[in-house]
Homo-oligomer: A and B are copies of this chain.
Amino acid sequence: GLHLDLDRAPRTGQSEVVFGQGKSPEQLVLAVGGLLEAGQPALVTRLDSARGEYLAKHVPEGVYWPTAGLFTVGRPVDLSEPWPSAGQAMVIAAGASDLPVALEVLGCAMFFGLDCGLASDVGVAGLHRLLQRGESLAKARLHIVVAGMEGALPSVVAGLYGKPVIGVPTSVGYGTGLGGIAALLSMLNACAPGIAVVNIDNGYGAAAMAAKLLG
């Protein structure tokens, strides 16, 4: 049932990435193996710990990053703390509960070779925390803002710094948060200009977009 898009790297500059969710462990090993055999690096996303550890056991040259739900092999990815605090692209996470998605962005960015930093837990309820990170934010060429709940942070960041912003709504919240729909709608309706949005919890998509824009 597998037909890898091995031609994607020459065509688009980024190799095929494996969507981990809904695949059996065997399919995952086959997919990663196929990429490695073709001389390509491999990135698997949205991988729970059971299948992540299975993959790490069967492809020992790779690493499974549990918080980010990523498996990487063939590229220098390192998600252990401390995380880089500055870069051409800055990931800005609203709350500490958004960290898994923020690390998905960071890990994928590293996989794509993008120079990327992280500022975490700087949401709108206490804006002074954001301002304290002002220097590295002002130096970056692109902001990737990760936020759940009301998702207001991209509006504020775009209004303050005027850089292009990729918004990543997260499913953090409850009730009318609707699994991230509230945050998504906020970002789509932002009246500050210069914001474009990816799917809820789609850290990978934001990193791929950023790498194409800055690459």
Contact = CB atoms under 8 A, between A and B. Distances in A.
A147 B181 CA distance: 19
SS of A interface (majority): mixed
A205 B46 CA distance: 30
How many of chain A's residues touch chain B, expressed as a range?
A: 35 or more
Q: What is the copy number of this chain in the assembly?
A: 8
A202 B27 CA distance: 23
Interface in A90-126: 93-97, 99, 102, 120-126
10 contacts: A3-B122, A21-B97, A23-B97, A125-B158, A149-B191, A152-B156, A175-B200, A178-B185, A182-B186, A196-B198
Given A125-B158, A150-B190, A193-B208, 7 more contacts: A7-B128, A11-B160, A16-B126, A174-B199, A182-B185, A185-B185, A193-B212
